Amino acid sequence: MKTLLIPADQLSEAAAVIRRGGLVVFPTETVYGLGASAFNPVACVRIFTAKGRPSDNPLIVHIASWEQLDQVAVNIPAEARKLAETFWPGPLSLVLPKHPDLPEIVTSGLPTVAVRWPSNVEAQKFLLESGVPVAAPSANVSGAPSPTNFEMAKSAMLGRVEAILQGDDAEVGLESTIVSFANGEVKVLRPGSITLEQIAQTLGLDPNDLPYQVPQEGRPISPGLKYTHYKPAAEVQLFREPGELKNWFDKDVKVGLMVLEGSVPEDLPSTWEVLKFSDWDDYARYLYASFHELDQLCCGLILAQLPAASGIGLAIANRLQKSAGTV
């Protein structure tokens, strides 16, 4: 398939592709999404094919107005409304009772739908011009890291979609926080840059009453959680303290290192590729792009520094542990 590459100032063309039932990769503040009209079931089926995604893993629906929220969800719980009013537009997806008119393919037959109103300006313009809610998973081939810049989006999706809309690099770099409200209980299904602490504070809850737990094998709360995710071609291993790095000094594969500035030992082997980050937000922003870069540099092993599991660190640790296969 020929893929149109559309500059940001011509995004009306990308919106027209959505209205015609095509697939469009578009930028958001979290990661690039692979979108189709949420009310076109034939187009939505093609999302699963383009990604190689199992059909029991539902899609997030992207909106750009409160009217569109009412087109896709019903009976919105008060806590959900409070979070939406506080954090939308932004990197937060809310799992809500599904509108009966929304095609089943979008939610993989679940009675709920995950909804998000992105803050990225191009994403908002694209959604408004499309005139329909847009179902979109991350624009990676299933299992691989999500694209956080135009080059990665192209390398993942060229030839698989009708169009790729060019945007800036993603500001956040990790997928949205997902919150569900099933049985009157607020649960964080996927940690992200809107932190558990922020959600608890907004709802007047104690953060300890809002745990994010790695789901037990075989009993996924969110269908996507049971699949492998975020894996680069290289093997990923994790460390906390720079002192641990000497364990890998004699490795006979090319090593790529992802580490916070200021924690880099001076005696590293000269063959290592070293990517440094100024703080954990910077680390989150470039995590997937760094995986991509180290793969391109033919590293066989990526050593990635693991943060403490609070704030943005919880989301980074979640993605790193999945990419390393330790959860």
Contact between 138 and Mg ion by CB under 5 A: the answer reads yes
The angle at the Cα of 169, spanning 65 to 32, to the nearest 5 degrees, equals 55
Q: Restricting to residues 118-147, name those near ligand TXA by CB under 6 A.
A: 136-138
Q: Which of 11, 14, 36, 60 is in the footprint of ligand TXA by CB under 6 A? A: 60
Contact between 195 and ligand TXA by CB under 6 A: the answer reads no
Q: Which residue of this chain has its Cβ atom nearest to Mg ion in the complex?
A: 138
Contact call for residues 138 and 34 (beta carbons, < 8 A)? yes
Q: Restricting to residues 221-260, name those near ligand TXA by CB under 6 A.
A: 222-225
Q: Which stretch binds Mg ion (CB under 5 A): 19-27, 133-141, 198-206, 248-256?
A: 133-141
Measured distance CA(223)–CA(133) in Å, rounded: 21
- Least distance from C-beta 249 to ligand TXA, angstroms? 36
Binding mask 80-119 toward ligand TXA (x if CB under 6 A, else -) reads -----------x-x-x-----------x--x-xxx-x---
Closer by beta carbon to ligand TXA, 125 or else 257: 125
Contact between 177 and Mg ion by CB under 5 A: the answer reads no
Contact between 193 and ligand TXA by CB under 6 A: the answer reads no
Tell me if the bond preceding 89 is cis, omega within 30° of 0. Answer: yes
Q: Is 238 exposed, middle or buried (0-12, 13-18, 19+ CB in 10 A)?
A: middle
Number of CB atoms found within 10 A of residue 256's CB: 25
Instruction: Count helices and strands (H / E) in the chain.
Output: 10, 14
For 248, the token pair is 């890998």
Measured distance CA(163)–CA(154) in Å, rounded: 10
Residues contacting ligand TXA: total by CB under 6 A: 28
DSSP 7: -
For 225, the token pair is 């959680």
Closer by beta carbon to ligand TXA, 255 or else 312: 312
Interface contacts to Mg ion, rule CB under 5 A: 138
Interface contacts to ligand TXA, rule CB under 6 A: 28, 30-31, 33, 57-60, 91, 93, 95, 107, 110, 112-114, 116, 136-138, 175-176, 178, 189, 222-225
